[in-house]
Amino acid sequence: MDDESILDLFWQRDERAVSETSAKYGRLCGKIAFGILGDPQDSEEIVNTAYFRLWNAIPPKRPDPFMPFLARIVRNLALNRLKAERTQKRFGGEFALSLDELDECIPDKKGAQSDSEHIRDCLNSFLKTQKREPRSIFVMRYFYCESIEDIAAKTGYSESKVKSMLFRTRNKLRQFLESEGISV
Amino acid sequence: MKHEALADAITMLDDDIIAEAQEPFRRRSPLPIFGACTAAAACAAAGIVFFVSGRTGTDILVMGADPSEKAVTISSPAAAAVAAADARAYSMDTTDISVEITASGTTVVDVSGGELLVVGADSTLPAERPLEISGEASLIWSVPLWDIGAEFELTAQNGGSSRVLLLSFDDSTQEWVVSEKY
């Protein structure tokens, strides 16, 4: 079922909207949540909560495109869960690994800290200057929390090539953020 | 904290950048040459037989059927999940599809998504792409089938002509199928 039809079901308050969303995007949502939380049960709970949030948000919203809207809800819920628990033993999995990699991108500086919106704007600007392949691989890794192995399987690049592309992109990002005066 | 600021910023990336990363793209790579692999090894390894009669000098076996005549059904975790319509069901596995190719002359094979593996007598190894085949080759096409909106292509180029097999989700049967793309 295409996204427009799914959105129609939400607007008609037809409960098939949830099952159709699950059928089409359940795996993707599960991968995002699992990548952040590293726990299947927590991930399942987050995904189901995301469907509930969708149900409450649509209508009045009619997100276009639909998938990023849903993915963002899942990611936010999972991050909030992580922040709430915030114990070292639960802070694991692909998400922790991917954040460790990204940590080096933002320089430490004295003075005013940059907020998430400013960093987001800089990230968007930076990514739009990159070629399609490294940009998408960056997003697979740091938005969808996919493992290097999964990205390699999906794109056809070797794992070492994926690591190399991510390394180069992170270095460019660090230089870009420094030039924009970003500090955290 | 760096972690939180970065994580929040990434969550708010533009929709088009987020969506784009879920669309298949073809990697660009140099042309390596691989020797022929035995067909029997692929059948034994994957248990799937795939046959497409070649009109361009390339024969492809797919699950014992010819996709140019009738779409070949691929069983996958995605299909099971869809059939169950279970909101909690999801899988992170890839699905392995055995592809056996007999080339008359040289055929260049590539896929738009997933990974190609070459099945040898003793081992199965990732293939560089595009893959150049002379004679017979047994391959496994390993594809992530968790997004039923996705489509993948396997292209076999022989001389000036080419064949394209399309792997897509059939809404009517709720199964992934491989069919000849004309």
At residue A19, φ and ψ (nearest 5 deg) are -65, -35
Residue extents of the structural domains in chain B = 2-52, 56-181
pLDDT at A141: 92
**Is-contact B176 B67, C-beta < 8 A?**
no
Q: Which amino acid is at B121?
A: A
**Is-contact B138 B119, C-beta < 8 A?**
yes
pLDDT one-digit tens code per residue, A126-151 = 999 999 899 999 999 999 988 888 88
Chain A hits for B29, CB-CB cut-off 8 Å, are: 156
CB contact under 8 A, B9 and A136: no
In the structure encoding, which two tokens stand for residue A49, read together? 């909560």
What ipTM goes with this model? 0.79
Residue matched to tokens 């726990």: A39
Distance from C-alpha of B159 to C-alpha of B57, rounded to nearest angstrom: 9
Torsion of CA B71, B77, B78, B81, to 10 degrees: 120
Whether A172 has a pLDDT exceeding 60, the answer reads yes
Query: Alpha helix locations (H) across B27-170?
Result: 39-46, 77-84
pLDDT at A145: 87
Residue B44 pLDDT class (50, 70, 90 cuts): very low
What is the number of H-type helices and E-type strands within chain A?
Answer: 9, 0
pLDDT one-digit tens code per residue, A23-62 = 999 989 998 999 888 888 889 999 999 999 999 999 888 9
Residue A104 pLDDT class (50, 70, 90 cuts): low
Distance from C-alpha of A84 to C-alpha of B4, rounded to nearest angstrom: 12
Question: Whose CA is closest to B152, among B116, B101, B182, B114?
Answer: B114
CATH number of B56-181, picked from 2.30.30, 3.30.300, 3.40.1710, 2.60.40: 2.60.40
CB contact under 8 A, B7 and A47: no
CB contact under 8 A, B21 and A143: yes
Q: How far is A87 from chain B (nearest CA, A)?
A: 14
Establish if A128 touches chain B: CB-CB under 8 angstroms: yes
Answer yes or no: pTM beyond 0.90.
Answer: no
Q: State the average pLDDT for chain B.
A: 71
Distance from C-alpha of A106 to C-alpha of B154, rounded to nearest angstrom: 41
pLDDT one-digit tens code per residue, A8-27 = 999 999 999 999 999 999 98
